[in-house]
Amino acid sequence: MIKKTGRFIFLFFGVAIFASLVVQYFLFPTHPEVAKKDNASKVAGVSTERVSSIPTPTPKLAKSEYVIAAYGDSMIDTMGEKMEYLQKQLQKKYPGVIFRLYNYGIGAQNVEQGLARWNASFKNRERSFPPISTLSLDVIILGSYAYNPFNPHDLQKYRNTLSQLAQKAKETKAKVYLLAEIAPIYDGFGDGPKGPNMSTESAHMQANNIREQLEQVVNVAKKQKIALIDMFSITQLNGKYGNRYYTNPDDGVHPSEFGQEATAEMIVKTVKFK
């Protein structure tokens, strides 16, 4: 009886020890540094790569104040009287730096009309500025005027005149950037309570003419050796017409609020300050 009891006790303790080892093996790995690393990899469900990532430092600029002018048609004009979208993005990237912004945009003008007023005083609604050629500017953002094709449509004339305008801008001491605006939508172009509301045939023709002119902007920028702010290619669907998410549903032409924000972000991303 005693022998049986002893064997039972020995067997009981053997099983208990074995169970303890099994539990320890699964719950407490033999390499504590591995367990520590595994536990550290999850903080409230967030990867440590994101938690420990180093934020991008604020770029340090050479000056405390910069002067920027945007020049063009309604695609520039609709950026706002004080260019609020661009100002917001500039302040976000360069806090503490002062940016004085001039909007020289006038709606419904083609590139020939834009060239003609280069040396003239500017007046549009609340904005009244001296000729852009007389300002001491750090940066000029030159609109493409692609949204106002000649009648009849003339790609060569457009390309040549835009090149002349780019030359004028380069004669200043400013750093010049050429803006290729958002791609035009095809179906529904110009539709909306504030849009021109053309016939379908006319709307398609206008959208196509604009697209063809925007394609020329890239070539002009290369030939003139000026930097391109490219909103055109990133807003195209299937390499052709625009994504309506970037287009204002009120007129079917100009950038929506999202389009304005995206354009401002692209400008700030592209422009390099001295």
pLDDT for 274 equals: 81
221-252 confidence digits (pLDDT tens): 999 999 999 999 999 998 999 999 999 999 99
Q: How many whole angstroms separate alpha carbon 228 and alpha carbon 177?
A: 6
Amino acid at site 81: E
Rounded to two decimals, what is the model's pTM?
Answer: 0.79
Amino acid at 200: T
Of residues 186 and 30, the one with the higher pLDDT is 186
Q: Are 137 and 173 in contact (CB under 8 A)?
A: yes
Tokens of 129: 């500025």
Neighbours of 234 (CB within 10 A): 13
**Among candidate residues 168, 111, 118, 112, the one with its CA nearest the CA of residue 143:** 111
Identify the pLDDT of residue 61: 92
Question: Which of 88, 51, 87, 37 is closest to 67 using CA atoms?
Answer: 87
Quote the mean pLDDT of the chain: 86
Reading the block at residue 117, the tokens are: 């007023």
Identify the pLDDT of residue 59.
76
CB atoms within 10 A of CB 88: 14
Q: What are the pLDDT digits (tens) for 112-162? A: 999 999 999 999 999 999 999 999 999 999 999 999 999 999 999 999 999
Summarize pLDDT for 63-98 with one digit per residue, the tens.
999 999 999 999 999 999 999 999 999 999 999 999
